[in-house]
């Protein structure tokens, strides 16, 4: 594992993003095929996020490596899940903080915009479950990822990925060994 200096963490984030960012747009293709109008709501954020170094995938990678993981690229899809989850949170932030001019024009127009943004956020959240479904792991291991190891799982379709934020060492064990 590399030793971090205060100036090289950004290079680490960029290196991680170079592997993870190309994975993310493919997960939005289903949305684009099903409802172009809703995809159009997600596209500006998607385009912005895949061009920059993302913190959450880098933290995911770092926690994996701190726990002894040697080939972080094998968890690249999990890193992508963390960035898609971050995007989900951004959509909700747009609603609360009037980002992307969600609250504009007449009330009916604003309500429609808000509803569509909530739907876009929820569909982005659903993508997290789809990405986890595609990862080549046993169902038991996927449930650990999607529920944070909680028993019983609240819902396999609505993952709570809080485990990565608390860097729970035990959850990486099955990927490392």
Would you say 137 and 172 are in contact if contact means Cβ atoms under 8 Å apart?
A: no
Averaged pLDDT for residues 51-58: 94
Averaged pLDDT for residues 27-48: 87
The total of structural domains in the chain comes to 1
Q: Is the pLDDT of residue 107 over 80?
A: no
Residue 174, domain member (yes or no): no
Residue 114, domain member (yes or no): yes
Q: Is the pLDDT of residue 54 over 80?
A: yes
Distance CA 38, CA 119 (A): 8
The Cβ of residue 98 has, within 10 Å, a number of other Cβ atoms equal to 12
The Cβ of residue 19 has, within 10 Å, a number of other Cβ atoms equal to 15
Q: Is the pLDDT of residue 135 over 70?
A: yes
Residue 151, domain member (yes or no): no
Residue 159, domain member (yes or no): no
- What are the pLDDT digits (tens) for 158-176? 333 433 333 344 455 545 4
Residue 141, domain member (yes or no): no
Q: Is the pLDDT of residue 24 over 80?
A: yes
Residue 77, domain member (yes or no): yes
Residue 148, domain member (yes or no): no
Q: What are the counts of helices (DSSP H) followed by strands (DSSP E) for the chain?
A: 9, 0
State the residue range of the domain holding 68.
Answer: 9-136
- What are the pLDDT digits (tens) for 55-88? 999 999 999 999 889 999 999 999 999 999 999 8
Q: How far is CA 150 from CA 75, 140, 159, 164, in A?
A: 21, 12, 11, 13
Residue 156, domain member (yes or no): no
Phi, psi of 120 (to 5 degrees): -60, -40
Does pTM surpass 0.75? no
pLDDT confidence of residue 108: 55
């Amino acid at each position: 594992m590399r030793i971090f200096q205060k100036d090289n963490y950004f290079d680490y984030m960029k290196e991680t993003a170079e592997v993870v960012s190309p994975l993310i747009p493919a997960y939005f293709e289903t949305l684009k095929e099903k409802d172009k109008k809703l995809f159009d709501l997600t596209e500006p954020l998607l385009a912005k996020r895949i061009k920059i170094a993302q913190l959450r995938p880098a933290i995911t990678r770092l926690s994996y490596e701190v726990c002894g993981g040697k080939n972080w690229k094998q968890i690249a899809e999990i890193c992508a899940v963390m960035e898609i989850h971050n995007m989900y949170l951004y959509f909700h932030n747009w609603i609360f903080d009037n980002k992307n001019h969600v609250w504009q024009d007449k009330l009916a127009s604003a309500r429609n915009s808000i509803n569509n943004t909530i739907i876009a956020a929820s569909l982005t959240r659903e993508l997290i479950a789809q990405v986890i479904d595609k990862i080549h792991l046993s169902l038991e291991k996927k449930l650990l990822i999607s529920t944070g190891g909680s028993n019983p799982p609240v819902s396999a379709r609505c993952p709570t990925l809080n485990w990565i934020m608390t860097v729970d060492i035990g959850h990486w064990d099955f990927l490392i060994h």
